[in-house]
Chains A and B, each alone.
Chain A
Amino acid sequence: MALKVLAIDDSRTIRELLRVAIENVGFEYECAVDGVDGVGKFSQVGPDVVITDINMPNLDGFGVIDELRNGTAKTTVPIIVLTTESSSDLKMRARDAGATGWMVKPFDDDALVSVLRRVTGYQA
């Protein structure tokens, strides 16, 4: 079965860029337009890995991670934070919030896919 990826980002452009990168390697792609939408989609979609933006309306990325890790979902599904900032401070905050890893925007398609494979162990 193809790896199922849920991306949460309020930017249509980023969502489309992610779609191309992810569908190109044959993964399944679902996306959500803000934090609340993302948490809702999570339970519907049941993804193998989540990619989330930080700066979003209606619940930001930290809120999403907190909700997925400690809310009703209580999931240990890998969550990758996709952010414009490469500051280590932000990475530490993401890790403390429960993120599995991070990627900096703009992202390289291959690098993104490698990170997805690495945190999920997905080989195909």
Chain B
Amino acid sequence: MSIRDTFFQECEDLLAALVDGLAELESSGQDSEIVNAVFRAVHSIKGGAGAFGLDDVVSFAHAFETVLDRVREGDLAVDGKLLRVFHKSSDQLTDLVEAARDETAIETTARDSVLKDLETYLGDQVEEEEFSFDALTLDVPPALEIPAEDSASRGVYEILFRPHAALFSNGHEPSLVFECLSQMGDLTVELQDISIPDFELLDDSGLQLAWRLELTTFDSETVLHDAFEFVEGLCDLEIRPLTRPTDPLPTIASEVPTPQPTPSSDKPQTKSEKEPKAPKATLRVDLDRVDRLINTVGELIINQAMIAQRIEELDLPGTSQVLNELEDYKLLARDIQEGVMAIRAQPVKPLFQRMSRIVREAGEATGKPAKLLTTGEGTEVDKTVIERLADPLTHMIRNAVDHGLEKTDTRIAAGKPEEGTIRLTAAHRSGNVILEVSDDGGGLNREKILQTALDKGLVAPDVELTEPEIDNLLFLPGFSTAKEVSNLSGRGVGMDVVRNAVAALGGRISITSDPGQGTTFTIVLPLTLAVMDGFVISVADQTMVVPISSIIETIHPIRRNIHTIGQNGRLLALRNRYVPIVDVAENLGLKSLNRLDDQIFLLVSSVSHGTCALAVDAIHDQRQVVVKSLKTSCGSITGISAATILGNGKIALILDTEEIARTGASASELAHEKLTQMEPALVDAN
């Protein structure tokens, strides 16, 4: 990793700390430690950006930091207005850093508008001089070859130098100063005042010595002073020219720039009185290494399943020591697996932080003031899941502001606060991650939704739908209630895209709405993508796995609960409603066994267009399986999401319940062909 990469990675952390600090500032008021932390974040970004010549970032961070410094110094009080400017500035800084990282052009209008906002807070501290990064001039000029016959053009200086005690305690050494001078020309050093007191009177706190130096050099008096830059104020110093350089050589003069200290309004930080929070110790590890480890653990889980199977086949007595040891082995393997997965797990906080910006921007764009409340930011989710959630979540949040919240006057009329609230929560629940996006708007307009669906021909004209069914129409491809595609949540992306993204992560999404109270979207996701809990089932003599996350309940139905409609259609009567039955074998193009209806098992599954029951021949087991992608070896297969290796060493396909339910009874020949083509390849690969 290059240092540049390190910088941008660090920027991410710093920007997160910045957003965090601003949020804390908002909730807990002006606390000096928080202000310091915010200041430091901006300051560090500026410092690093300077090293890479990222001038846009530097100049903006500088303006931001200057206003923050005024807050720190107590010259400015943080109010709602200033906080908004800070939020905007933090967003802008994020954009500038991203633009610098991706080497893309910046939006100068947006930046300049924020800069202008910041400038109104600079007060009379507006800097007289443009901020610049003049590197410190080195007082050690390049060693010059001085031809002896040119001595006439050199100047001779007399230097009187008497160090104070502080010079020594600051870590200086007179001899080092002389050393530096001697590199500038011919130097003679004379010790003066050799009036050293008697031994008993010696003061060991300082050296009572002074020197007289004579330097013959091409350098000017200014350069000479620079050599004493670090010790000035720590000694008595007199520099007198005995003879000036007669004709200073222009070439040399140009090699010796004069220092230009740039005054700045920034004051150094004072020591904080509050005990600062100690940062958590972390270790940065290459992601590839973690993924290799996860892969190996996957093999371990498979291996453990195989050993368990072999031992079972031995048919040992229940008291056998081996069985006990096996149990321990299983527990340990699971611990290792969970531990390794935890490495990939990251809190959703950075993701949530990004969303508060989305709410702000959406609120501004639509003229509906809105705030984001988040809970469960510490909830940890697999890194890949977090990355792939960013887009769908952004879309949902925009939707919530744009479509969910009512117009301000409607809100006031309804007795609601003018500012809308978007809630984003995350939690772990029974091995899943639950994410909820809710608004306190007017709720779904079901009449309008149904009408739109009818207009677009998405539902049959005579259909009778329950309220949840109407709500779920939102997830249909090609559905969009907004009459005009607004530039905000429109963008040609519908909720169906969100649903597909969630389904691709092995999760599902549902919606609930209370008229007048708001709408809530709930996303249920598996904790990790590498290992999942599944039902081991059999279908037409094939062993397969169904992800548990998509299953609501399993039923061994009695015959009178199964109703036949049409030629092949069957429905399951399930607690006052009817659920269509999808025959998995038929759907996959496998030969369906001739079996009676009461010999099947049904997996009731929640899918995008409602609920359906997957008919399988048997449910054998519920266990953790290691997910092995088939994409590279077999491409994408309808109805199959991946494969796994079972304890007996055989490969089992993992069903894509969403896809199977969608294609319903119309099992395609294609799937059949693909499946039959695929099997030998899988066996070979093993």
Contact = CB atoms under 8 A, between A and B. Distances in A.
Contact of B135 (A14, A78, A107, A121): A107
A76 B180 CA distance: 19
B566 interface: no
Interface in A80-114: 83-93, 95, 98-108, 111, 114
B201 interface: no
A84 B61 CA distance: 12
Interface string A23-66: 00000000001100000000000000000001111111111000
Contacts of A14: 44, 47-48, 51
Interface residues of B, number: 52
Q: Which of A57, A60, A101, A120 has the most CB of B within 10 A?
A: A57
Given A11-B44, A100-B171, A92 B264 contact: no
B541 interface: no
A120 B230 CA distance: 13
A55 B43 contact: yes
Given A78-B171, A88-B263, A12 B133 contact: no
A100 B267 CA distance: 20
A44 to B, nearest CB: 17
A13 B51 contact: yes
A60 B276 contact: no
Contacts, number: 150
B48 A13 contact: yes
Contacts of A13: 3, 6-7, 10, 44, 47-48, 51
B169 A102 contact: no
Interface in B539-593: none
A77 to B, nearest CB: 6
A87 B264 contact: yes
A92 B268 contact: no
A115 interface: yes
Nearest to A99: B170
Contact of A62 (B39, B48, B268): B268
Interface string B224-235: 000001100110
A2 interface: no
Nearest to B4: A13
Contacts of A95: 170, 230, 233-234
Contact of B47 (A33, A84, A98): A84
Interface of B: 3, 6-7, 9-10, 36-37, 39-40, 43-44, 46-48, 50-51, 53, 133-136, 138-140, 166, 168-173, 175-176, 179-180, 229-230, 233-234, 261-264, 266-271, 276, 278-279
28 contacts: A11-B47, A12-B6, A13-B7, A13-B44, A16-B3, A16-B6, A58-B276, A63-B271, A77-B171, A78-B171, A86-B136, A86-B262, A86-B264, A87-B264, A89-B267, A90-B266, A95-B170, A98-B170, A99-B170, A100-B230, A102-B230, A104-B133, A104-B135, A105-B47, A106-B133, A106-B135, A119-B171, A121-B179
The 8 A-B pairs of least Cβ separation, nearest first, read A100-B171, A13-B48, A78-B171, A13-B7, A106-B51, A106-B50, A101-B230, A87-B264
Given A13-B3, A87-B263, A88-B263, 15 more contacts: A10-B44, A13-B6, A57-B36, A57-B37, A58-B278, A60-B271, A63-B271, A69-B170, A87-B266, A89-B267, A95-B233, A101-B229, A106-B50, A106-B133, A119-B172
